[in-house]
Structure 1
Amino acid sequence: MTDNDTQDLDQASLFNDRLLAILAGIAALFLFGALTGYIAKIAENGSLSAIDGILILGLIAATVLAGSFAWSKWRKAAAEPEAKSARKSRNIYIAATLLGGVLGAFIMIAGGPELDTMFSNNPISASVAVISIAGWAIGTPLITLIWWQVTDEHEIAAYSNGALLAFHLYVFLVPSWWMAARAGWVPQQDPMIIWAITMVVWSIAWLYKKYA
């Protein structure tokens, strides 16, 4: 095996570790959201059965396991030599993830018993709306601006390519879904579902361009 082959294997292993860390982190966030929503439903019903307790413990265990796995893989990948800009960029990712997790948990918990899912369209109080909007409309642009200033050209190019793909998906998807809904083929589109699909595609394309 040549030195180039060894280097390629090392790069592939590093890519796999980072990809697994990201996927496990996303899984942990989804599990945490499911746990929060389930607890909110139990609080609404006012009773806790044995099955509920088992499911809650299972969700807690799954969340901890997914988070621990993500952290271990990320630490392994982070141990590899990296540029200062990459390290700063990673720290900003962590800050953004924490902001999203805290904001999502706040919406689920403070939204009230009528809030059955993260993307529920049920009414919420004015205070919850103000805090949520402020956290998203102020915190997210601020983190993005800081990230843009410390990130290298390769990362920005990957980010831009993902954004371009996601934008075209949005352009093609929204009118098509709108017309299909008017024909009665699919349910009426939900803006947050469209947003989530767009963000997932953007993130996948971004990560692929960055690490592939």
Structure 2
Amino acid sequence: MTVSIVAEIPGAQRPGAEPKSASVKANHRLLAWSGVLGGAIGFAMAMSVLSTRPEQGNVAEAMIYGPLPVWLAVVMALLWGAVLPVISWRWHQVVDEHEREAYRDGAVAGFYVMGVGAPVWWLLARAGLLPPIDLATLYASFLIVSGLVWAWRKYR
């Protein structure tokens, strides 16, 4: 039976593992807080919508377009509009140059989804070629494109 000396030294790193800098730890912590915030908002919305017992098969539609209690909408808007920007601002203070560039490129790609996609969709919808603009779909497209470009630039 072999015992690793590394396992016996408190705080020791695995062979080949580099210690994480304070900024990398802060980056990961802030991304985790963003995930917790998003998860809490999503969970609260889900519990609110599901408590109204939407029709069978319309749960997804109710999650996106269903009414919310005023108090919940105000709390979630404050979290999204006040807490998330603070987390984001702090994240921008700790990220390195490479991640900042990846984020910038993702944001630019997302801008083009909105800046080009929304008017094209709007014009074609006015001609009856597409359904009216759906803000949730447009927003999801923005997030997906931004996230994919960010991940591609960060991890390639």
Fold equivalence (TM over 0.5): yes
Which stretches of structure 1, 4 residues or more, deviate above 3 A after TM superposition?
Answer: none
Equivalent of residue 125 in structure 2, options 181, 190, 193: 181
Equivalent of residue 130 in structure 1, options 74, 83, 89: 74
Q: Does 1:116 align with 2:59?
A: yes
Equivalent of residue 169 in structure 1, options 90, 102, 113: 113
- Residue 102 of structure 1: how far off its partner (Å): 1.0
Q: Is the 8 A contact 2:45 2:63 kept in 1?
A: no
Residues 55-114 of structure 1, C-alpha deviations (whole Å, 9 max, x = no match): xxxxxxxxxxxxxxxxxxxxxxxx942433222211211111111011011011124525
Q: Is the 8 A contact 1:165 1:202 kept in 2?
A: yes
CA distance in 2, matches of 1:189, 1:95: 32
Instruction: Number of aligned residue pairs: give it.
Output: 134
CA distance in 2, matches of 1:109, 1:189: 27
Q: Does 1:102 align with 2:67?
A: no
Bigger CA radius of gyration: 2
Residues 99-147 of structure 1, C-alpha deviations (whole Å, 9 max, x = no match): 1011011011124525833752232221111111011111210110110
CA distance in 2, matches of 1:86, 1:205: 20
Residues 133-191 of structure 1, C-alpha deviations (whole Å, 9 max, x = no match): 01111121011011011111111111111111110121110011111212222221111
CA distance in 2, matches of 1:109, 1:92: 25
Residue aligned with 1:120, SS: helix
CA distance in 1, matches of 2:30, 2:73: 25
Q: Is the 8 A contact 1:119 1:192 kept in 2?
A: no
Q: Which runs of 5+ in 2 are unaligned?
A: 1-15
Equivalent of residue 198 in structure 1, options 142, 145, 148: 142
**Which structure has the highest helix share of the two?**
1
Q: Which runs of 5+ in 1 are unaligned?
A: 1-78
Q: Is the 8 A contact 2:64 2:136 kept in 1?
A: no
CA distance in 2, matches of 1:120, 1:132: 14
CA distance in 2, matches of 1:83, 1:119: 40
Q: Does 1:158 align with 2:102?
A: yes
- Two-structure CA RMSD over aligned residues (Å): 1.9
Question: In 2 relative to 1, CA 80–161 (structure 1 residues): closer, same or farther, beyond 3 Å?
Answer: farther
